[in-house]
Chain A
Amino acid sequence: MMSDAQKHMEKLMQELRRGTITIGVLSQLSEPQYGYSLVTMLGDKGIQVEPGTLYPLLRRLEKQGLLASQWDTNDTRPRKYYLLSETGKEVYDLLVVEWKGIVESLNHVINPKGGNEDGTD
């Protein structure tokens, strides 16, 4: 049985992951990748993402113009490869800066004493 706290945590984590997965996906697409290779790559790096979440996300990002795609029919089976577009690259760089800012600020609030010890406060 899951405790109440755990249930709440699961729900909040879902919301948290939704945004971070996008950054994770964009980070891996400076080289063309197909959906399932991304699932494996991200999984190996500790970012668990379900194919059922990733595939629709890839299409959405493509529709928004952040990704470009191409079908490769030379392989054993046809695969759709995705790659960052110019806009996608820009967006990714901006996102990384924002993300680092969030991490820093949150570290501050989660662990306020840490700031004092560093003498930065």
Chain B
Amino acid sequence: MELIDRYIYAVTQKLPESQREDIASELRGLIEDMLEERVNGREVHEEYVEEVLQELGNPKKLAQKYRGTKRYLIGPEYFDTFLYVLKIVLIAMSVGIGISFVIQIIINPVSILDHFIEMIISIFTGLPMAVGWTIIGFAIAEYYQEDGLQELKKEQDWKPSDLPPIPNPKGSIKRSESIAGIVFLVIIMAVFAFSTDYFGVWFFQENGFRGVVPFLNEGTYVQWFLLLILGLGILKEVIKLIYGKWSYHLVMLIAIINIASFVGVLFMINGPDVWNPNFINELIQRGLFTEGSEAFHVVTQIWNNATNWILAILAIGLIWDIVDGVIKTVRSK
């Protein structure tokens, strides 16, 4: 009865593991009962088995009936918003990659072919990453959606007095702000995806750009950390776009993301080889100041304390972000 085994397997493999065994034995009993009735004491033929399985129908459909509700990564309720945000993200990403290509040509027009190849590479690495983060954002929203029974209960208990007030404009999240935020983050991301070399002190002369003394140590894991943190920033804007208005739920999600970003920065900044070890020397070489001068001491001190300052400013910024959300939520009530 190999056919029966195959049928039962086809149904149960698409069901939660905890129910598989029980459903399999019940289904086997059913098939045997149906066979017995059909065969009526005669010898069991393969044809009879086929007839019975045909009557039970497509195993996919049967499994669907057993599952009852359908499960989604991004459900129909969010799908349209998802497409909308995805479009924004992809356009922003393409613009970002384009802009950083232009910047590179301005800085170094000779190796235009290299820049072009780099652009192609970042299209193939950056775009899937942007799509990935967008999906993660929506999948989180979908996951935290209230389950069916709770929603049903709420719907049944509905009274006209439950009607939400027309949202206070103070509490609504401006789409344009979130979109601008995403575009901005994506542009920075695109530039960093090429190189962190342009993140530093820029030097210009009469005949134009002369070069940059970078803050960061090129070619370490730092670049990936920065991309991850910027990605979290985009995720935050996407979640804001989905929610559309301030609520404590949203503030909580933002707090979680901010804490994650802060921990990320903390890890990155305390790791070895983050900062450009030759920063001060390069500034001297460029003739910005001479060793031992007053400017030298000031810059050196700032440079040496940079880690703490950045962490402090970042912490204040991230906490303000949360406080701001709480204030806006309170005001909109």
Contacts and interface: CB of A to CB of B under 8 A. Distances in A.
B220 interface: no
Contacts of B62: 52, 56
Nearest to A53: B65
A55 B32 contact: no
Contact of B66 (A51, A56, A71): A56
B56 A80 contact: no
Interface in B22-63: 22-23, 25-30, 32-34, 55-57, 61-62
B29 A78 contact: yes
A70 B49 CA distance: 27
A80 B26 CA distance: 7
Q: How many A residues are at the interface, by size bracket?
A: 10 to 19
A51 B30 contact: yes
Contacts of A32: none
A60 interface: yes
Interface string A76-92: 01111000000000000
Given A51-B56, A52-B61, A36 B68 contact: no
Interface string A45-61: 00000111101100110
B23 to A, nearest CB: 7
Nearest to B57: A52
Contact of A77 (B29, B61, B65): B29
Q: How many B residues are at the interface, by size bracket?
A: 20 to 34
Contacts of A50: 55, 57
Interface in A62-84: 71, 77-80
A55 B61 CA distance: 13
Given A53-B65, A56-B66, A78 B25 contact: yes
B37 to A, nearest CB: 8
A34 B68 contact: no
How would you classify the secondary structure of chain B's contact residues: helix, strand, loop or mixed?
helix
B33 to A, nearest CB: 4
A24 interface: no
A93 to B, nearest CB: 21
Contacts of A56: 62, 65-66, 68
B161 to A, nearest CB: 29
A35 B26 contact: yes
Contacts of A52: 56-57, 61-62, 65
A34 B25 CA distance: 13
Nearest to B33: A36
B65 to A, nearest CB: 4
A36 B29 contact: yes
Interface in B1-33: 19, 22-23, 25-30, 32-33
A69 to B, nearest CB: 9
A92 B66 CA distance: 22
A59 B23 CA distance: 9
Contacts of A60: 68
23 contacts: A34-B29, A35-B26, A36-B30, A36-B33, A50-B57, A51-B34, A51-B55, A52-B57, A52-B62, A55-B26, A55-B66, A56-B65, A56-B66, A56-B68, A59-B66, A71-B25, A77-B29, A77-B33, A78-B25, A78-B29, A79-B29, A80-B22, A80-B29
Given A50-B57, A79-B29, 5 more contacts: A34-B29, A35-B30, A52-B65, A56-B68, A71-B25
Interface of A: 34-36, 50-53, 55-56, 59-60, 71, 77-80
A-B pairs, top 4 by smallest CB distance, nearest first, are A56-B65, A36-B33, A56-B66, A80-B26
